[in-house]
C-alpha cells in the first residue's frame, strides 16, 4: 500500500474517532472557570489541557482564568461557566445558600496553601494571632486562601474583621504585592511562596504543601482543588461530566510518575516566572499534594468541615456532606 494511502487512512480513522468522541458527549464545547490557572494548586488542569487529554475525550474546553476561586464560583452561579476547578470548601458553603453544587473529582489531597509574614514584620509576629490588625494578601477575598487564613486566625481568637484581606491574585501579582510592601502577610500557593522564600521576603507560619504539615494543622488530609459543577449540569450532561473527569484523571495519573522537569517542559513558559530552577523546586514541593485516586474521603470531608466551622457564616449551618461529592464519575474513570 502506498504511503499516501496509508496516511489517508490514518487521517480518516483519526477524524472518525474524533467525530465519534464528540458525538458521545452532550456538550462538546465546555466553559471552565478557574481562579489562578498558573498556580500549582491547579496544575492537573494545565496538564490535561497541554497534553490534549480533554480533546481525547471529545471536548473543546475554554478555560476562563479569574483572579481567585471566589470569582470562578460566582461565574458558575451566574451561568457564565459550566464547571469550575476550585476549592472543595465551596461545595459545602454553597449548600447552605441553597445551591446544589457538587464535586465530581478531587485534584488535590493537601491544600498546598502557605501562610507567611513579611520579613519586615516577622519580629512582631511570634504566632499567627499576632497578625491581628495586619493586611493579609490572598488570591481573592472569599477564596480558599482566605478561608485558610481565616481558620488559622480564628483558632487563635482573631476574627475575620480584625484583619484586612487584600486580593493580590496568584503568580507575579502576588509576588509583587509583597515586594512593594502592599501587604504585611500572605496566604498563597506555589510558585508564589517559593519565589518569596527564595528572595528571603517571608517567614513561613503554616505550610500545607506536605502531608506532615497538613496533618499538623487539620489532623488529616484536607481536599484542595476539585472539579465541581451544578447538580443540574450533572443530570443534563452526564457524558460530558464523565469526559471532563476522564481527562483530569489522566492528568493525575500522568503527574503520579512525572518529574519536575517533565512538568516544567509541559506547562507554558510564563508559568516559570522567569526562573525555571525555582519553578522546578516549587513543583518538587507540590507534587505530593495531588490526589492519587481522585476520590474525596470521609476523613477529608470532616477536615473540610472543621476548616469552615470557624467561619461565622458556617458555625451554625447544617450540611449534608454526602451531597458535596458525586464519586460515580471517578469510579468509571478508574475502570472500576
Domains defined along the chain, listed by start: 3-111+222-333 (3.40.190.10), 114-207 (3.40.190.10)
Give the pLDDT band of residue 171 (cuts 50, 70, 90).
confident
Residues 178 and 129: their CA atoms lie apart, in Å, by 20
Strand (E) positions, the chain? 29-35, 60-66, 83-87, 101-106, 114-118, 135-138, 164-167, 185-188, 202-207, 225-230
Give the residue from 162, 196, 163, 198 showing the smallest Cα distance to 181: 196
Element (H, E) at 7: helix 3-24
The answer for residues whose C-beta is within 8 angstroms of residue 72's C-beta and 6 or more apart is 33, 34, 35, 64, 66, 81, 84, 85, 86
Report yes or no: 294 and 334 within 8 Å, Cβ to Cβ. Answer: yes
What is the phi/psi pair of residue 230, to 5°? -75, 145
For 66-97, what is each residue's pLDDT tens digit? Answer: 988 889 999 999 999 999 999 999 999 999 89
Sign of the four-CA dihedral 209, 223, 288, 33: negative
Give the closest residue to 188 by CA, choosing from 255, 125, 139, 238: 139
Look at residue 65 in the predicted model and tell me its pLDDT.
96
Diameter of the chain by CA atoms?
Answer: 78
Q: Tell me the three cell numbers of residue 126.
A: 511570634
**Residue 223: which region, alpha, beta or left (left: phi > 0; alpha: psi -120 to 50)?**
beta
DSSP code for 220:
S
- What is the value of pTM for the model shown? 0.83
**SS3 helix, strand, coil % of the chain, rounded to 5?**
50, 15, 30
| Cα Rg of the chain (Å, integer) | 20
User: Mean of the pLDDT values across residues 104-133?
Assistant: 96
Residue 182, C-alpha cell as written in the block: 502592599
- Chain-centre distance of CA 185, in angstroms? 21
pLDDT exceeds 60 at position 14 = no
Phi-psi region of 63 (alpha: psi -120 to 50; beta: other; left: phi over 0): beta
For residue range 279-331, list pLDDT tens digits in order: 999 999 899 999 999 999 998 998 888 888 777 777 777 889 999 999 999 99
Sign of CA dihedral 127, 129, 134, 137: positive
Question: 81: which 3 cell numbers?
Answer: 461557566
Between CA 63 and CA 327 the distance in angstroms is: 24
Q: What is the DSSP code (8-state) at residue 79?
A: T
Label each residue of 132-143 as H, E or C.
CCCEEEECCCCC
- 183: helix, coil or strand? coil
pLDDT at position 8 over 50: no
pLDDT digits (tens, 9 = 90+) for 198-256: 999 999 999 999 889 998 898 888 999 999 999 999 999 999 999 999 999 999 999 99
Measured distance CA(228)–CA(9) in Å, rounded: 39
- Give the SS3 label for residue 288: helix
On whether the CB atoms of residues 166 and 135 are closer than 8 A, the answer is yes
Asked whether the predicted pLDDT for residue 145 surpasses 60, the reply is: yes
Cell numbers at 94, concatenated: 454553597
Amino acid at each position: 500500500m502506498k504511503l499516501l494511502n496509508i496516511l489517508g487512512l490514518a487521517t480518516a480513522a483519526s477524524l472518525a474517532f474524533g467525530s465519534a468522541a464528540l458525538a458521545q458527549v452532550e456538550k462538546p464545547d465546555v466553559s471552565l472557570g478557574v481562579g489562578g490557572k498558573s498556580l500549582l494548586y491547579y496544575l492537573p488542569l494545565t496538564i490535561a489541557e497541554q497534553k490534549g487529554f480533554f480533546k481525547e475525550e471529545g471536548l473543546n474546553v475554554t478555560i476562563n482564568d479569574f483572579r481567585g476561586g471566589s470569582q470562578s464560583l460566582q461565574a458558575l452561579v451566574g451561568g457564565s461557566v459550566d464547571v469550575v476547578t476550585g476549592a472543595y470548601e465551596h461545595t459545602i458553603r454553597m449548600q447552605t445558600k441553597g445551591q446544589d453544587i457538587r464535586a465530581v473529582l478531587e485534584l488535590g489531597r493537601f491544600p498546598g496553601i502557605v501562610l507567611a509574614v513579611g520579613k519586615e514584620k516577622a519580629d512582631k509576629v511570634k504566632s499567627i494571632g499576632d497578625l491581628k490588625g495586619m493586611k493579609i494578601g490572598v488570591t481573592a477575598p472569599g477564596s480558599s486562601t482566605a478561608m485558610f487564613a481565616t481558620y488559622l486566625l480564628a483558632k487563635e481568637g482573631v476574627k475575620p474583621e480584625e484583619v484586612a484581606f487584600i486580593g493580590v491574585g496568584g503568580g507575579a501579582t502576588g509576588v509583587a504585592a509583597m515586594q512593594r510592601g502592599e501587604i504585611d502577610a500572605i496566604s498563597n500557593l506555589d510558585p508564589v511562596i517559593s519565589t518569596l522564600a527564595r528572595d528571603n521576603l517571608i517567614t513561613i507560619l503554616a505550610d500545607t504543601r506536605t502531608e506532615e504539615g497538613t496533618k499538623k494543622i487539620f489532623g488529616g488530609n484536607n481536599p484542595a482543588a476539585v472539579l465541581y459543577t451544578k447538580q443540574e449540569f450533572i443530570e443534563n450532561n452526564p457524558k460530558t461530566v464523565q469526559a471532563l473527569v476522564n481527562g483530569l484523571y489522566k492528568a493525575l495519573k500522568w503527574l503520579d510518575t512525572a518529574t519536575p522537569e517533565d512538568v516544567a517542559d509541559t506547562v507554558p513558559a510564563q508559568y516559570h516566572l522567569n526562573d525555571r530552577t525555582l519553578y522546578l523546586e516549587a513543583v518538587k514541593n507540590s507534587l505530593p499534594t495531588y490526589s492519587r485516586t481522585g476520590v474525596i474521603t470521609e476523613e477529608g470531608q470532616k477536615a473540610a468541615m472543621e476548616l469552615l466551622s470557624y467561619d461565622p457564616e458556617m458555625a451554625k449551618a447544617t450540611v449534608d456532606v454526602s451531597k458535596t461529592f458525586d464519586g460515580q464519575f471517578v469510579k468509571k474513570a478508574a475502570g472500576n
